[in-house]
Amino acid sequence: MQKIIRQLATEIQVREEQIRSAVELLDGGATVPFIARYRKEVTGGLDDIQLRELETRLGYLRELEDRREAIVKSIEEQGKMTDALRVAIFSAATKQELEDLYLPFKTKRRTKGQIARENGIEPLADKLFANPALLPADEAQAFVKAEKGENGDDFTTVQAVLDGVRDILSERWAEDAALIQNLRGWLWNEGLLRSKLATGKDENNPDIAKFRDYFDYDEPIGRVPSHRALAVFRGRGLEYLDAKLVLPVEPEPGKPSLAEGRIAIHLGWSHQGRPADDLIRKCVAWTWRVKLSLSTERDLFAKLREDAEKVAIKVFADNLRDLLLAAPAGPRVVLGLDPGIRTGVKVAVVDTTGKLVETATVFPHEPRKDWEGSLHTLGKLCIKHGVNLIAIGNGTASRETDKLAADLMKLLEKHVDPNSPPKTAMQRVVVSEAGASVYSASEFASQEMPDVDVSLRGAASIARRLQDPLAELVKIDPKSIGVGQYQHDVSQNDLARSLEAVVEDCVNSVGVDLNTASVPLLSRVSGLSATVAKAVVRWREANGAFKNRKQLMDVSGLGAKTFEQSAGFLRIRGGDNPLDMTGVHPETYPLVEQIIEVTKKPVTELMGRAEMLKTLRPELFANEKFGVITVKDILGELEKPGRDPRPDFKVARFNDGVEDIKDLVEGMVLEGTVSNVAAFGAFVDLGVHQDGLVHVSQLSHKFTNDAREVVKTGDIVKVRVVEVDVARKRIALSMKLDAAPARRDGPRDNRFEGAARGQQQPRRDNSPAPQSAMASAFAKLQGGR
C-alpha cells in the first residue's frame, strides 16, 4: 500500500500524508463530495477533481498489485522465476507491461514452436543463432527423425527441421517483453493509421458518405485526435471502412521492412553473408509478419481507442457539468411546449414549485393549421396561471413553434392591464429536449404524474428544465442527455462511472432542498442511496416538512454515518435553525455558537453581514478537530447563506425571420446558445434546426488549444456566419465579430469540401480553419451525434 500511496502522491503532485488520509477516508465509506467539502483539514485541501483522480487511479493500482501477485505466484509454481524477472515484474508500471512479461509463461495451446522443442530441435536453433557460420542443412541432419511422431509430428526431412528452428526462434522473440515494448513504442510514434473505403461499398450511400473524410486517410497514430479515431473505428465496425496500422515507410519488394530491421538490431544480429544468415533473416521476417504485426496493430488500436475514449468521456462529462450547472430560471410559472407537427404541440403549465397544474394539446401546424385556435388556448392558459416564461423543446417543428410563442407574447402584451402591478417580462427559450422521452416513459415519471399521458409528461419536463436544470436532469440517465461525442462508441461502464461522478459533484456543490427534492435528486446527495432517498420522501409525506436536520435521524435506515455524509448538503428553508439552510455542517454548529458568543449577535444577524464577519480572526475559533480552513469556510457560508454557485439566468434572442438554414447569409451576426463543446470547436444553436460550428481557430483572436478554454455548454454567444452549405446542412461560424465580412461578388471559399488528411496543426494566428479541419469537424458532428 505504501508503494501505491507514493505513486499517487507523485502523479497528483501532493504530499504522501494527503494521499494516505484521503485513502483512509475513502476506504471508510466517505464520499468524494464530503471529503472535498468537509475534510479539507484532514487531506490538506484536496479538491474534488484531485480526489476523483485519486479514486480512479487507486482502483487501477490496486488491481495492478493484485494481478502482479497472481503472476508471481503462477511463475513460481512453474519453477521458472528468476531474480531479474522478479525485479522486472515488480517494476512494471502498467497492466500491459505485466502481461508482456507474463506472456512466455501463460498456459497456451500446443504451438508449432512447442512441438519443435518437444522433438528436440531447440539445441539446433540455439546453435545456429549463436554461430551463423555453421551450415544449417548439415547441422540439421543430426535432428532428422526416421519417422513421424505419435501425434503426427513430422520432422523426417531437413526442411521440416529447419522450419522447426524458425518456429522456435520466432516464437521466442515474439514473447520478448523488451522487444514487444520497443516495437510498440516506435510504431506509436512513427506508425500511421490508414483507412480506406471498404471494397464494394458505395461512397454515395448517405450513411457511408458521412465517413467521406476517411475514404483515403492516414495520420500518425500517436497524434490522431479522439473524434477522428472514434470515427474511423465506427466506420470500420460498420464495415464501411478498412483500417490498418502501416509502417512509416513501406518496404520495397523483397527487402526487409523497418520493423524487421528493429528486431534485428534488438537481437544484436546483422546479415553478413554467413551460411545461416539467410535462415535467421527468414526467422526475423516471420517474427514480424506472422507473430507480431497483427498483435502490435491490435495493441496499438486498443491504446488509441482507450485514449480516444478517455477524451470523449471527458468531453461528455465537462459538457454535462456545464449543463447541470446552467443558470436556473427559479420559481417562475412556465409554459412548456413540446413541438410536433401532425401529433400537435403538447402543452404543460408548471407552477413556481414545478408542480404540473394543467395540460393541453394544440395543432398550429400541418395538417390542421389551427394557428388562431392555438393562440387562443395558450393565451387562456397563460392568463389563468400567470405564465411569464415559455420553454420550447428543440425537436421537430421547434422553430415554427417558437414563432407561435412569439405571436403569443405579442397577443398577451395587448391584454396587459395598465392598472395591475408590474410583472416579470414574458420570455421564451428554446430548450434541449434530449432525454425528455426517456424520462416521460420512466417509472418515476409515472409516479410523479400518474394520470398524465406520456407525451404530455415530456412538455412538463421541458418546462421544469428552465426552472432548475439540475433538479430535472438528474431524473434522466446522463447518457441520454446528449451532450457528448461518440458516446455510444466508448466503454459504457467507464462513461457511466464518469457521468455519475459529475452528477454527484454537481448536486452536492449546489445543495438540495430537503423538503422539495425528488427521490432521484436526493439519491445523488452524498451518502444517500436510492433506498434511503425513498425513505426520506416517505417520512416527509407522513410527517410533513422537516423542521431541522436532526430529524433526519428519525428516518428509517438513515444512521449516524449517513447523516454525517449527507447533512451538510441538505438545506431546510424556514426551519427551526437558520444554519440548516446553509452549507455549514451540523458537526461544526458549536463553532458558530462560539462566533455568536464573541460577537454577541444572534445567528440571524450574522448571516449576510460580510463587513462584520470579515473582521473575525479564524484562528481564534479553530480547535484540534476543525482548523482554520474549516472556520474560513464557515465564515464564507455565513457571509452568503444558501448561495447558489450557478450563474444568473439569461436568454438568447434569435433573430426574427431567421428560421431555417436557408435564411442564413454570410456575414450575418446572430445570437445563439452553445449546445455542445469539443476540443476542436463549439456547436451553437441558432434556432434554424441545425447547429453551426465555431471551429477552435474562430473562437478567439488568441491561440486556443481547447474550445472549453473559451466557451462552455449553455453559454449565450454572438457569432458571425462564415459559410453555409445548405445541401450538406453545415454552418460555419466565427466569434471574431470584427473580421471582414465575406465578399459577395467573388468566388466562395468552400471550406467544407475535401477529405481530412489529419496533417493540419492548429494555426498559431487562429486564422480560418483549414479545409481538412473544418471537414473533419463536421464529419464528427454527422457521424457522432
What average pLDDT does range 460-473 have in this prediction? Answer: 93
What is the Cα–Cα distance from 627 to 43, expressed in whole angstroms? Answer: 12
Q: Residue 589 is placed in which grid cell? A: 454548529
CA R_g for the chain: 33
What is the Cα–Cα distance from 663 to 448, expressed in whole angstroms? Answer: 41
Model confidence at 782, pLDDT cuts 50, 70, 90, reads: very low
Say how many C-beta atoms besides its own lie within 10 A of residue 661's C-beta. Answer: 17
Select from 526, 537, 535, 586 the least CA-distant residue to 562: 526
Identify the burial level of 13 via C-beta atoms within 10 angstroms of its C-beta, where 0-12 means exposed, 13-18 middle and 19 or more buried: exposed
CA distances from 40 to 48, 227, 333, 581, 630 (A): 11, 37, 40, 21, 7
Say how many C-beta atoms besides its own lie within 10 A of residue 762's C-beta. Answer: 14
pLDDT reading at 777 higher than 60: no
Task: Report which residue type is found at 512.
Answer: V
pLDDT reading at 627 higher than 60: yes
CATH 1.10.630.10 fits 114-312, yes or no: no
pLDDT at position 775, please? 45
CB 277 within 8 A of CB 191: no
Residue 291 DSSP code? I
CATH of the domain spanning 661-784: 2.40.50.140
Strand ranges for 53-209 from DSSP E: 192-197
Paired residues of 244 in beta bridges: 194
**Phi, psi angles (nearest 5°) of residue 449:** -130, 70
Distance of CA 199 to the CA centre of its chain: 34
Task: Give the model confidence (pLDDT) of 489-516 as tens digits.
Answer: 888 899 889 999 999 999 999 999 999 9
The CA angle 563-568-572, to the nearest 5 degrees, is 100
Pairing of strands 334-338, 389-393: parallel
Residue 288 DSSP code? I
Task: Give the model confidence (pLDDT) of 3-53 as tens digits.
Answer: 999 999 999 999 999 999 999 999 999 999 999 999 999 999 999 999 999
What is the Cα–Cα distance from 261 to 251, expressed in whole angstroms? Answer: 11
What average pLDDT does range 473-479 have in this prediction? Answer: 88
pLDDT reading at 740 higher than 80: no
What is the Cα–Cα distance from 705 to 697, expressed in whole angstroms? Answer: 9
432 vs 381, more confident = 381
CB 669 within 8 A of CB 694: no
pLDDT reading at 159 higher than 80: yes
What is the Cα–Cα distance from 178 to 195, expressed in whole angstroms? Answer: 29
Task: Give the model confidence (pLDDT) of 691-715 as tens digits.
Answer: 899 998 999 888 887 888 888 888 8
Give, for 676, the enclosing helix (H) or strand (E).
strand 669-678
Q: What percent of the chain has pLDDT above 90?
A: 65
Select from 738, 744, 717, 732 the least CA-distant residue to 768: 732
CA distances from 357 to 303, 457, 513 (A): 53, 12, 21
Paired residues of 350 in beta bridges: 334, 356
pLDDT at position 150, please? 78
pLDDT reading at 1 higher than 80: yes
Task: Give the model confidence (pLDDT) of 518-551 as tens digits.
Answer: 999 999 999 999 999 999 999 999 999 999 999 9
Task: Report which residue type is found at 156.
Answer: T
CA distances from 245 to 197, 248, 299 (A): 15, 9, 11
Side-chain half-sphere exposure of 119, counting CA atoms within 13 A: 32
The CA angle 719-724-730, to the nearest 5 degrees, is 90
pLDDT at position 610, please? 87
Say how many C-beta atoms besides its own lie within 10 A of residue 98's C-beta. Answer: 20
pLDDT at position 419, please? 56
What average pLDDT does range 627-639 have in this prediction? Answer: 92
Model confidence at 739, pLDDT cuts 50, 70, 90, reads: low
Cα dihedral: 458, 463, 469, 470 (round 10): -60
pLDDT at position 768, please? 42
What is the Cα–Cα distance from 32 to 30, expressed in whole angstroms? Answer: 7
645 vs 554, more confident = 554
Distance of CA 146 to the CA centre of its chain: 64
What is the Cα–Cα distance from 771 to 769, expressed in whole angstroms? Answer: 6
pLDDT reading at 758 higher than 70: no
Task: Give the model confidence (pLDDT) of 253-299 as tens digits.
Answer: 778 899 999 999 999 999 999 999 999 999 999 999 999 999 999 99
431 vs 768, more confident = 431
What is the Cα–Cα distance from 639 to 626, expressed in whole angstroms? Answer: 19
Select from 52, 503, 56, 571 the least CA-distant residue to 322: 503
CB 536 within 8 A of CB 513: no
CB 387 within 8 A of CB 412: no
CB 394 within 8 A of CB 673: no
Task: Give the model confidence (pLDDT) of 49-90 as tens digits.
Answer: 999 999 999 999 999 999 999 999 999 999 999 999 999 999
pLDDT at position 421, please? 52
Model confidence at 304, pLDDT cuts 50, 70, 90, reads: very high
Paired residues of 438 in beta bridges: none
pLDDT reading at 727 higher than 50: yes
Cis peptide before 328 (omega within 30 of 0): no
Cα dihedral: 657, 660, 661, 667 (round 10): 10
Domain residue extents for the chain: 2-105, 114-312, 340-467, 661-784
Model confidence at 417, pLDDT cuts 50, 70, 90, reads: low
Task: Give the model confidence (pLDDT) of 342-391 as tens digits.
Answer: 899 999 999 998 999 999 999 999 889 999 999 999 999 999 999 999 99
Burial annotation 605-621 (CB, 10 A radius, 16+ → b, else e) = ebbeeeeebeebebeeb
Return mean pLDDT, the chain: 88
**Cβ contacts of 299 within 8 Å, gap of 6 or more:** 96, 184
pLDDT at position 773, please? 42
Model confidence at 750, pLDDT cuts 50, 70, 90, reads: very low
Domain 2-105: CATH superfamily, name plus number: RuvA domain 2-like (1.10.10.650)
pLDDT at position 423, please? 60
CB 694 within 8 A of CB 712: no
What average pLDDT does range 437-460 have in this prediction? Answer: 90
Task: Give the model confidence (pLDDT) of 583-623 as tens digits.
Answer: 999 999 999 999 999 989 899 889 988 888 989 999 999 98
Cis peptide before 33 (omega within 30 of 0): no
Q: Find cell 464557515 and name the residue.
A: 634
Instruction: Write down the pTM of the prediction.
Output: 0.80
651 vs 739, more confident = 651
CATH topology of domain 340-467: Nucleotidyltransferase; domain 5 (3.30.420)
Paired residues of 393 in beta bridges: 431
Q: What's the full length of the chain, in residues?
A: 785
What is the Cα–Cα distance from 630 to 566, expressed in whole angstroms? Answer: 17
CB 675 within 8 A of CB 683: yes
Select from 322, 379, 306 the least CA-distant residue to 683: 322
CB 387 within 8 A of CB 459: no
Secondary structure (3-state) at 7: helix
Q: Find cell 464530503 and name the residue.
A: 34
CA distances from 739 to 122, 668, 673 (A): 73, 12, 21
The CA angle 200-201-204, to the nearest 5 degrees, is 135
Paired residues of 715 in beta bridges: none
CB 150 within 8 A of CB 156: no
